[in-house]
Amino acid sequence: MIEVKNISKKFNENLANEVIALNDINLTIEQGELAILKGASGSGKSTLLSLIAALSKPTLGEVIVDGQRISKLPDNFSALFRREHIGFIFQKFNLISTLNVYENIITPLLPSEINREEIDQKAHKVMAEFSITHKKEVKVANLSGGEQQRVAICRALINSPKIILADEPTANLDAFLTDSFLDFIQQMKEEKKTIMIATHDPVFFNLDFTDREVDMRNGQII
């Protein structure tokens, strides 16, 4: 379960260009729930996902995941939390462009105690699942947008995370690839993963397998 309690996030605090990205947000997402965070650009969706993934720290408030207060964790512990619990699909995928498909996918596992053979097995399993095995040696810079997204998904799933966070996942995809992504989300939902998707793409609205739609505007839930 994800609990967001009285979260506020300010950028450039106390400076002339201070921005209040989130303002006193409260939200609870149950285990296995699929929540869509809706809202225009600048509404605070991405910032909220980033706080839930412990990628940044809130100015005020707390994020609690499965009873663990993650918003004030020391840096190394928040990294471990991400490695063990979170699969994050970034808007621009954030792949390492000079690495090939296989190398990008296994990167989250390299610092763990898992041996190379097991890493290889996990990588081949996710690559097969998302039909990208044939491109495993190709540098990601040379892939299409859809292929890059599949690599990003594989990388997010290789740790078998119980929480999947996706930030504008279809922003760079055509209609066909968007449908494929919806299939993937439905599959993850069936596997009882907790999923949060920040998007302003209408294809995610009113889906029959969505549990909740959260509307955001100017850093607040409306």
Partner 1 sequence: MKNNLFEFALNSLLRRGSKNIFITIIFSLLIFVLSSVFLITNALKTELYSTLEALPEIIVQKMVAGKQKDIEIERSDQILQISGVDDAIARVWGYYYFENQGVNFSIIGIDSYENQYKENLAIIADRFTDTLNSEKPSMIVGQAVYDILKQNYYEDYFYFVKPDGDSKEVNIGGIFKSSTNLESSDTIVMSKELVREIFNLDENYATDIVVKVPNPKEVSTIAWKIKELYPDTRVITREDIKVSYQNIFDYKSGLFLAFFILAIFTFFIIIYDKASGLSSEEKKEIGILKAIGWKIDDILTVKLYEALIISATSFFFALTLSIAYVYLLEAPLLRDIFMGYSILKPEFKLPFSLNFQVIALLFFITIPVYIAATIIPSWKAATLEADEVIR
Where does this chain bind partner 1 (CB under 8 A)?
A: 50, 53, 55-57, 75-76, 79-80, 82-84, 86, 88, 90, 94-99, 103, 107-113, 116, 119, 155, 159
Q: Which is nearer to partner 1, 26 or 97 (CB)?
A: 97
User: Between β-strands 212-217 and 34-38, what pairing exists: parallel, antiparallel or unpaired?
Assistant: parallel
Q: Which is nearer to partner 1, 2 or 53 (CB)?
A: 53
The minimum distance between CB 90 and partner 1, in angstroms, equals 7
Q: Which is nearer to partner 1, 39 or 108 (CB)?
A: 108
Are 4 and 199 spatial neighbours (Cβ–Cβ below 8 Å)? no
Separation between Cα atoms, residue 82 and residue 161, nearest integer Å: 9
The minimum distance between CB 98 and partner 1, in angstroms, equals 4
The minimum distance between CB 186 and partner 1, in angstroms, equals 24
CA 204 from centre of chain: 15
Separation between Cα atoms, residue 84 and residue 89, nearest integer Å: 15
Return the structure tokens found at 168.
């504008």
Q: Which is nearer to partner 1, 156 or 195 (CB)?
A: 156
The minimum distance between CB 50 and partner 1, in angstroms, equals 5
Q: Which is nearer to partner 1, 95 or 221 (CB)?
A: 95
The minimum distance between CB 110 and partner 1, in angstroms, equals 4
Separation between Cα atoms, residue 140 and residue 105, nearest integer Å: 10
* Element containing residue 24 per DSSP (H, E): strand 19-29
3-state secondary structure of 106: helix
Return the structure tokens found at 5.
């309690």
